[in-house]
Amino acid sequence: MPAKLSAYNEKRDFNRTSEPEGVGGEPAGRLRFLVQHHLARRDHYDLRLEWDGVLLSWAVPKGPSYNPRDKRLAVHVEDHPLEYRNFEGTIPQGEYGGGTVMLWDEGFWEPLGDVEAGLRDGELKFVLDGRRLKGAWVLVRLKPKAGEHGDNWLLIKEKDGHVQDGPGIAGFGTSVRTGRTMDEIASGGDGRLARNPFDRADVELAKLVSAAPKGDGWVYEVKYDGYRMLAFVEENRARLVSRNGKDYTGHFPAIAAELADWSAGRAFVLDGEVAMIDADGRTDFQALQNFLRNPGGPQPAYLVFDLLALEGADLRDRPLLERKEVLEQLLEGAPASIRYSSHVRGRGEDSLHAACELRLEGVVGKRAAAPYRGARNGDWAKLKCDHRQEFVVGGYTRSEKNRTGVSSLLLGAYDDGGLRYVGRVGSGLGAAEAHELEGAVAGLQRADAPFENPPKPRPHEQAAWLEPKLVAEVRFAEWTQDGLLRHPSYLGLRADKDPRAVRREEPDEGGPADVSAGPSPATAAADGARPAAAPQASASPSARPSSAPHSPDRLERPMVTASRKGGLVIDGVTVTNPGKVMFGESGITKEQMVRYYAQVAERMLPYVGGRVLSIVRCPRGVGSACFFKKHPGPGSSGIVTIDVPASDGGTEEYFYLESAEGLVSEAQMDTMEFHVWGSRVDELEHPDTMVFDLDPDKGLDLEQVRRGVRDLKGLLDDLSLTSFLKTSGGKGYHVVVPFEPASSWDAFRQFARRMAQVMAEKWPDRYTSNVRLAKRNGKIFIDWMRNGRGATSVAPYSLRARQGAPVSAPLAWDELDTVAPDAIHLEAALARAASPDPWKGYFDVDQGLG
């Protein structure tokens, strides 16, 4: 028993009273407070503030008052256990404090200053955020009079926007938890708590489509990368249930506790996604997998997008927008971990493009007027930025070199009742994943293959077959003509999915009735592509190409020779399938693309070499599926790998380039885009390149964008910061600011964010720093998010995976009014690379954040 609770326990006989026994507790996020109306020998209110594992407690005879002139006596009494915040009922007469106790208010509090010093010195200031009490308050200790033994304080309302002329508490005669009056609590009545009209529900599912439904009859939300969960909340308890009916409350206890605490006796059913959110606001499935293995550290959030029931009413027959309007109101004041999922009306293609630019999984379109039917009926449509889905694990292999571990998983999907083999995955199976899989497959072994079409055994490996009980999430490039996965990568196991429900996902080309044909959403090439997680990086030897001049006036043609087999060799790299068309409308072939990178290598490498890369590959050209890649793989030469510490304590393998060979080799592997970190590998913790992307809302003309560039440059000039300009290859320009690598990532990112905020504050009708699409109406988004640790931005001279082969090309400042953001294409970029460098002097800039 904690010493702090000894006085509390000594005063109570727990064989008679139902009050909780004092056993101490651990803090769980924000500090909580409560006020209990206590009708004992004397009617009073008990104020309790959570601190250091207990509830600091004061008895306030007249109750709190919103009038600062009312100085309410508050008698400091013994500390109470944290469990006391849930106590409401009757203490037997004859017991200490015998009488009726009501939970009159509850919420969170924030100290204004040092709590221990305030308790010691007799002045404790704080802010209350409750359902009935809000604003700033102060407890002031009274100097004891002669012969007094009590610890008496005064509770006083501080002057702020919540002040009232009177006490302001007279109208509250019921419990915030149960809705009961004091008489109903004393009589043992159940009160007026609502119950949910159902305790289970099938979730609404989305059909995969190839193009966004058009028109204002659809709304669009981010497609989150986590675990789908229904939350059933009633009677101050919360239950989390997965889409296949499994209870996940024990897996996410903090979210369940937050929902229960915040519900305050209300009943509701929510639909949403439990996900880990990284520093850039994106959901990270692998981080969630790491959390489930080791629940310590950062906690997931619950992203809520639908409301199925409220206060006993079934809302599933109501239109979606009506449900969402009520949901948004309900979630006002919810804990930070419970978040409302906003939406955009119409503009499906724009929403998808924005999601892919931010390297999100995709978007979900929903019919605005549709009820919630708990089926996959076409009312919801999903569009993905890359290929990924769940597959059934039907076996695994071990190689002769790795007899004890898992080399690859053998995957399948159900088709007409039978499980068909679709390929194997080995990429992404690190030590942590292998350990998890060894436990998961225990007891599932079987003698024969569960597949209708089992794969043929490979030499030097051993296959083990499994009952098809496990589901794995996999990212992959595309399907082969043989119905197998190309370039799959393992993301984790999905215990929330039913194996029998796993089918090969094919986009519905017709889609919902008002879906029109359009380009594949899988083309995820965009400005500022960044890794799906922001890894904690470590330093590595520099690969800066110091021997090459930074600003050559002329470039030599790359060396092109014929190989012995009659193929094409460029800079020592054999180019396969050189005639393959990569940019369909312009007819640009793979050979032309590889030649381009070979010819611009000397100009490009100073900006790309020695920086961690993320790349966009398009194996079939820009008209087909492209995929984002941040980890090294087979086939490339001239690259250097680097182990970067990850947030879970392990490491992730990334890569960078040192030479033209690496650049050309990547192009030979169908890499179109190169995106780089804002720091070099020899100074990984100290960024040196700040990028602002001016992203205009649809419909803004080019002159408005150019004015935005000039406004931003003006602010940078006022700070004596030298900046450079380049095209994005899309709708906007990029303003690039070089720095000496001296600042921390946090300071660097905050500086960039503040610059964007200053623009939004100075010209609120022109600019926004808010990433939400809804905030961009008629404005330019000053995208500062490229500047976080692990974020990337498109490299100078990189092609863009868009029709016409546009290039993100450096410009001189006097070219702003004559060169559009998407005006420079492959041939023009080649000519510019052979001309004087518009960024001459870039590497001579010596400036810091100040």
Residues serving a catalytic function are 223
> How many other β-carbons are positioned within 10 Å of the β-carbon of residue 136?
19
Dihedral, CA of residue 168, residue 172, residue 173 and residue 174, to nearest 10: -160
Decide if 274 contacts 284 (C-beta within 8 A).
no
> With b meaning 16 or more CB within 10 Å and e meaning fewer, what string describes 543-564?
bbbeeeebbeeebeebeeeeee
Decide if 438 contacts 493 (C-beta within 8 A).
no
- Our CA angle for 31, 111, 89, nearest 5°, is 45
- Rama region for 556: left / alpha / beta (φ>0; ψ in -120 to 50; rest): beta
Sign of the dihedral through C-alpha 702, 705, 707, 713 = negative
Query: What does the alpha-carbon distance between residue 248 and residue 645 come to, in Å, rounded to a whole number?
Result: 30
The residue assigned the tokens 């392990």 is: 650
Sequence length of the chain is 850
Q: Which residues pair with 207 in a beta bridge?
A: 381
Tokens read off for 725: 């300009």
Spell out where 646-799 has E strands: 651-657, 671-677, 689-696, 724-727, 733-738, 767-768, 780-783, 792-794, 798-799
Local structure of 714: helix, strand or coil = helix
C-alpha to C-alpha distances, 537 to 67, 82, 428, 529, nearest whole angstrom? 54, 40, 19, 18
The amino acid that residue 127 corresponds to is: V
Contact partners, residue 336, CB within 8 Å, separation at least 6: 30, 301
Helices 590-608 and 826-833, axial angle in degrees (round to 10) = 50
Sign of the dihedral through C-alpha 567, 568, 573, 578 = negative
Local structure of 757: helix, strand or coil = helix
Dihedral, CA of residue 392, residue 395, residue 400 and residue 406, to nearest 10: 50
> How many other β-carbons are positioned within 10 Å of the β-carbon of residue 346?
18
Decide if 260 contacts 267 (C-beta within 8 A).
no
354 DSSP assignment? H
Query: What does the alpha-carbon distance between residue 830 and residue 596 come to, in Å, rounded to a whole number?
Result: 7
- Our CA angle for 560, 563, 566, nearest 5°, is 110
* Strand pairing class (639-645; 134-141): unpaired
